[in-house]
Structure formats: structure tokens, C-alpha cells
Amino acid sequence: MTAQPGLPFGAPAARVDARAKVTGAARYAAEHPAEGLLYGVVVPSPIARGRIRSIDSRAARAVPGVVEVLTHENRPPMARFDLLHKDMDAPGGSPFRPLHDAQIHSDAQPVALVVAVSFEAARHAARLVEVHCTAERPRSDMQRLAIEARKPSRLKFGYQVPPKVRGEPEDAWDEAPVKIEARYRSPAEFHNPIEMHASTAIWEGEGQLTIYDKTQGAQNSRAYLARVLKLRKRDVRVLCPFVGGAFGAGLRPGYQLVLASMAALKLRRAVRVVLTRQQMFSFGHRPETLQTLKLACDTEGRLRSVVHEAVSETSRKEDYVENIVSWTGLLYNTPNLRLAHRVVELDRFTPTDMRAPGAAQGVYALESAMDELAQAVGLDPLALRLRNYAETEPGSGKPFSSKALRECYARGAQRFGWSRREPEPRSMRDGRTLIGWGMATGVWEATQIHGAARAVLRVDGTLEVGSATTDIGTGTGTVMSQIAAATLGLPLAKVDFSLGDSRLPMAPVQGGSFTVASIGTAVQAACLKIAAKLLLMARAQGDTPLRQPRLKDVEFVNGLVRLRADPSRSISLRELMQRAGAAEIEGKSLALPNLMKQRKYARATHSAVFAEVRVDEDLGLVHVTRVVSTVAAGRIVNPRTATSQIEGGVVWGIGMALHEEGLVDHRLGRVMNHNLAEYHLAANADVGEIEVIFVDERDEVVNPLGVKGVGEIGIVGVAAAVGNAIFHATGRRVHSLPITLDKVLGLD
């Protein structure tokens, strides 16, 4: 059975939740009403490292309307052992627990929660809490401390240990006729979604809580909270029907979740805690990295040696690691390869995943170095990449389940006009404006995680489908509805997809671009079980036009099930169910990845990014005027939402290249630009024309739907393409992000 032309699968459908969002009907975590609601405001630590001597809350408690001031001294009981409260996305080590003890581990750590009958009273009182500490000098300067880097010993789930050294990379580099060595820095970046971290915890009696949380995993938040506060899972319900952006910030439960829940348990009232924009800079971030690339090739541009070493930050409590260098072993053929990754412990909150974690930084360095090598050997940057194209996975020799990267290069170059590029730097200009063209490759993993779904078809033709997955603004609800509608041949308007509820069928956290591959497969499988039951009904009745149909011989179209060989022989789903006396039919599915099949292949999503910049020769101002992103991401369920995802990734990549940087005062261990006025993001004026092209791939190795995911790949390679374009425009190579005007002018 296959979806037919005209069905919603593959159509650019509008979001099913669009009206609710634009009219304000969609309620986010801090917008759900509750009887007797109290408001909590977090009191941050005044230091980055040390210990609390005392907390004086007398002035705060005297403010009218203040109900309680929670600290480590009067909080409800909390689990003692770290292993009891791991979350699904936790790195190895000892996770932070708010108000656990008097120790200060990072700047702006929550040390108290003021709870009052109004937000205004709580905010005012929070400023009156006096926190007396014994301070220690914090470790926050990663560049200075990089010499102390060590191998990570407590590995995060999904981290790929760099492979063994292949060949003799150092000797081959020494002997090669053409070689480059460069060091790249990417700074800490901070999540700034529109919706800030928020939790509304509602006391339901007898230790039961209903919580509306800003999260990318309702069941993950529930499991974490139950372990930390020693509750039964069945007594905790977490809901997140709408999420105002997350980008990885919501993968790990935020500390406001624990604080709101502790206050609700202690006071037996509903409590809401919303972090301020400044406090959003105190919970996770993209880690700062230092990377060294050594590339060598022969005189024709064939790679002879690749060495990629990365150092990234982690906290003292956990070993946070990302796959920074692994991508270098996937993209290009070389007989000699060495990859290494080390971490530096800092007195900062543990970093967390941010869109395309690891790849955003690692591919930036690799693709910048490839551009430098192209310049050194005298080859066009695209020609160098094609000359070293990997038809199979380097090292293992496994075939790719699908790889349309060559077509990405070809179509992107043609659309961008790459053949008209003048090779010499500073050779393209418009008066006093220098014009540069740069390109880069992108890569991301194609993964399926186990997940479940439930579907119920009713005799009136409506289909209810549900899974505990979330929608962080990517259009998940729309895509799942499309998959369900296509599978049973129903109009999209007849499908109601429920998500963001920990009581729904099991789902992993939403991240890594695996949600559609995982939950979409479960949705399809649940609907196929309904289809199979419908055909059993047809066989049992005997007098239907189908006559002993088999699933592979029929198709579901426009509310009908009909024979593929003879579409005139059909029956409506409504009539079939009425004949059988069935008011509804249920299908449940737990979709598991086919590991036996998958392990025989390398699986990845690929892209080619082409960028044009215009640089003011006198002022060093850079404007990205055009980006063409060509993506091979398997089957595209909804081109409209998928295009939006890639466009958003490109915008963020421009911000990574030119704007975003957390600036730390190392005397204080504090991020000083913790606001949207001084933490620069790409705005409308910074973004030119973006064109997205999808290259069709058919790949049923990754999952039965053949999808690979587009959430992460959009940002990968963009910063490198922009940086390479700036070099082409100016002849100046900048190795440190963001590329600000002082660096362009050589004043840094």
C-alpha cells in the first residue's frame, strides 16, 4: 500500500496549529490558569564559585504577599544519589540539582526561590534577599586553560569516541608537497528562544502534580522530576502542548521545573516559575571550542593526511562532550587520519545541545580548512571537495544508505552561478564594496530512535492519533497528521494529532532530527494496523466489492479502500465499519529501528551551502546578500515546513558567523552580555535572500518512511561558507568566530 498523488504526504500543507498560534489560543507553559496560583522568582548566586555562608530573607518575607522563601535549608526532600535522577540527555557525571546544598558551581546559579501571590511582589522581594558567600576565583578562561585539557572519561549518550589512527598522518603531513595548519575558535553561544524556560506546577492533592513545562520531552521531564523529588511516576503528569522554540535548550529539564514543583509540594498550591531573559544565560549553552586542523594533499589536490583536534568546555560536575571531530572522518577520503577530542573543566553551568551540536562547530573548522587548502593548491574549492569525494564511508568502507551530495553540489552551484566566480581574492567588487563567494559542505547523522503511537479511527471518518513527542515549532504536529492521513487516505482536516503529554505513548526527547523518522514511523505503523483490521472486516463480510483483499493489493484514497488493479472496486471506510458494527478501530505501535539492516550502512544527511557577501572595504562591514542551501535529506514529508527549517538554520548560521558570542569577564566568571541588547543575533537587516533546494532521495534503510530529518542540517556549513566568502572578498582569513568588523580590518 502506498500513498497516492493528491494525498497530504509530501504536500506543502499549512501548519495544523497555525490559527491557534496566531490568534493566541495556543497556551504555553506560563499561560495556563490555575486556582490559587502563586508566582516564584529565582534569586541567583552573586558569585560563580564558592559557598553560601548564610541567606537573609527577612526583608523579603516582610513584603506583603510573600508566602515563602525556599533555600537549600528548607526545601522539600531531594534524592541523594546522582544515579537516581539522570535525565534522557544527561552527560556523564553528577548533574546539578537546584537548592541541593550550599555549594556554588556557576554564575547566576539559583540559590533561593521567592514565592508570592503576585509576580510583582515576588520579583520585588527577590531583590531583597541577601546572599552571603565565601568566593573562590572561578575557572572560566578556556583558551588559557586549554593546556589542561583531558580525554572525557564519562561519556554522554550518543558521543562517538574518535576512531583509531589510520595510517601515518603526521609523517604523511610532513612529506606532502601542499599542506596547511590552522587553529579555529568558536565561542560559547546561548539559546534565546522566544519562550523562556517556564513551569506551572499544579498541586492535585496527595503528592500529585500536573505540570505545564517548557520542554522537548514531557516524559523525560516527568522521569527526572519523579527521581529528584522521590515521587511516583504515576503521580506526575507533564504537558507541553505548545513550545515556543527550544533548539536543544529544552532537552534537559530546566531548574525552574524542580523549583516550581518543590514549591507546589511544600505549599500545596499551584506555583509558576518563569526565568528572566538574563537567567536564560545561566542554563546550558553551545560550548566554546578550540580546534586545530592539519590538511595535506598532493599537487593535484588529493588528500594525503588529515589531523583534526578539538578542545571543548565542560563543567566540573559533568563531562559534556559533542561529536565535533567525527564528521571529519565521514566526508572525505584520506589514507591517513587522526581525530582527537579533549575537554577542559570550567566553573560554568554544563553546556547543552544546541542546533546541530558538534557538527556546527566541527564542520565549520573542517570546511574552513578545506577552503584554505584549495587556495594553497590552486584549486576551485568545489573542485577540491569533488576530488576527495567519499563514495563509501571512509575507514569502514560501508556503503551509504543514500548519498546525493554530488547532486547537491551540482544543483547548488548551478543555481548560485558558481561557474562565474573569479578565483582570486579581492577580484570581485562593486565600487568600494568587495564581493565574495564561498561554499561549504554540510553533514548530519540520519537516525531512528524507538517510539510509540496510538491511532483510533471512528466511524464518522475522524482519526485520532497520539504520541508523547513534542513540537518545538518545527511543525511536528502537522507532519504527523500528514503521515496518518496519507496512510489511511483521509483528508488532513479529519486527523487530530495529540502530543506533548507524558501520559501518551512513549516518545524520546525531540532533538537530533530523528523525530519524524522515529515517531512518524510509529504513526504510520499504528495506522497500518487499523488498515489491516479494516481488511479483516472486509473478508469477514464476504459481500464487499474487495473479495479477500490483501494489504499490498489495496490503496486508501479519499475515505475509500479500493483495489489498486481495479479502482472501481471500492468501499468507503464508513460503510465498512457500519457493516461490521464497529464504532471505532484502534491501532498501537512501538516502532523500533532495524539495527540488523542499518549497521550494514553508513547513514547521513548531506548539504551544500553557497554564500555571497558584500564587504565595505573601508569599514569592514559584512552583509550576507545570498545563500543557496541544497539539501539531501531523504523523503520530504512537508516541503513547506522543511523549507522553513532550513531557512531558520541558515539565519542562525549567519548569526554564528557574524554575531553570536557570549562575552565572559574571567575575573567574575560571568557572561556580561546576558541580554538581547548586547548578545547580538541576526536580524532582518542582516539576512539577504535564502533559497532552499531539496534533492530527492529514496532511502528505506534509515526507516520505513525514508525520511532523514532537516532540523539540524540547515545550520551545518553555513558559518564556514560565509567565512570562506569573506576571505574571497577581502583576502583576509579570520579564524575566530564571530567575524566582526575589527577582525575583517585586521584590528583584532
Report the pLDDT averaged over residues 307-316.
Answer: 96
CA atoms within 13 A on the CB side of 48: 22
What is the pLDDT, as a whole number, of residue 717? 98
What's the predicted TM-score (pTM) here?
0.96
Among 191, 209, 240, 247, CA closest to 76: 209
Instruction: Round to whole Å and give the CA distance between 692 and 12.
Output: 14
Section 701-714 average pLDDT: 94
Quick check: 580 pLDDT over 60? yes
Percent of the chain exceeding pLDDT 70 equals 98
Quick one: what percent of the chain has pLDDT higher than 90? 88
Determine the topology of domain 384-447+601-748 in CATH.
Aldehyde Oxidoreductase; domain 4 (3.30.365)
List active site positions.
712
| pLDDT value of residue 82 | 67
* Res. 157 pLDDT band, cuts 50 70 90: confident
Cβ-proximal residues to 34 (8 Å cutoff; 6+ apart), any chain: 200, 202, 270, 272
Mean pLDDT across 180-195: 97
User: Does pLDDT of 3 surpass 50?
Assistant: no
Q: Quote the pLDDT of residue 86.
A: 66
Q: Count CB neighbours of 619 within 10 A.
A: 11
Domain residue ranges of the chain, discontinuous segments joined by +: 18-25+448-592, 384-447+601-748
Fold of 18-25+448-592: Aldehyde Oxidoreductase; domain 4 (3.30.365)
How far, in Å, CA of 605 to CA of 714, rounded?
10
Residue 6 clears pLDDT 50, i.e. is over it: no
Phi-psi sector, 366: left (phi>0), alpha (psi -120 to 50), beta: alpha
Pairing of strands 622-632, 687-694: parallel
Q: Would you say residue 547 has pLDDT above 80?
A: no
Q: Is the per-residue pLDDT at 2 higher than 60?
A: no
Same fold, 18-25+448-592 and 384-447+601-748: yes
Model confidence over 642-688: pLDDT tens digits?
A: 999 999 999 999 999 999 999 999 999 999 999 999 999 999 999 99
Count of residues making up the chain: 748
Q: How far apart are CA 54 and CA 61, in angstroms?
A: 16
Q: Is the pLDDT of residue 126 over 90?
A: yes
- Kindly state the average pLDDT of the residues 6-16: 79
| pLDDT, tens only, 21-74 | 999 999 999 999 999 999 999 999 999 999 999 999 999 999 999 999 999 999
